[in-house]
Amino acid sequence: MVAAGSGAEALTVAGWFGPCNYDNDTAKISAVLGDWEDRFGARVVAVGFGTLHLSVAAPPVSERDALLVAAEHFALCPDNVWQGCRPYTLAAYAERITGAHRWDFWWD
């Protein structure tokens, strides 16, 4: 437990190093997650070494919106697209997150 106003802020307060193989600035990750909390009702459910799991109350439901969010996911965690499920394209990833109430990230 840490004293933080949200799960997004808790990552920075706790000193989480999950994406250290990609970016060592957890405050940037927290800023993105804070935005997703506001826009999609995203909540941190679990974190591990190199992993982050979110529940999402209001995921994108249109193809266009999902593609825009997929680009944000890619900027945060390119491994989700490059090393996720085939085909390794942003459009395919967008299809996978359309309407998905769970977003998972991992940094290799």
28-54 tens-digit pLDDT:
899 999 999 999 999 999 999 889 999
Question: CA-CA distance, 43 to 34, in Å (whole number)?
Answer: 9
Paired residues of 47 in beta bridges: 52
Q: Is the pLDDT of residue 105 over 80?
A: yes
Q: What's the distance, CA 83 to chain centroid?
A: 15
The angle at the Cα of 60, spanning 55 to 63, to the nearest 5 degrees, equals 140
105, 80 Cβ separation under 8 angstroms: yes
Confidence band for 18, pLDDT divided at 50, 70 and 90: confident
Angle separating helix axes 7-14 and 26-40, nearest 10 degrees: 170
What is the structure's pLDDT at 66? 98
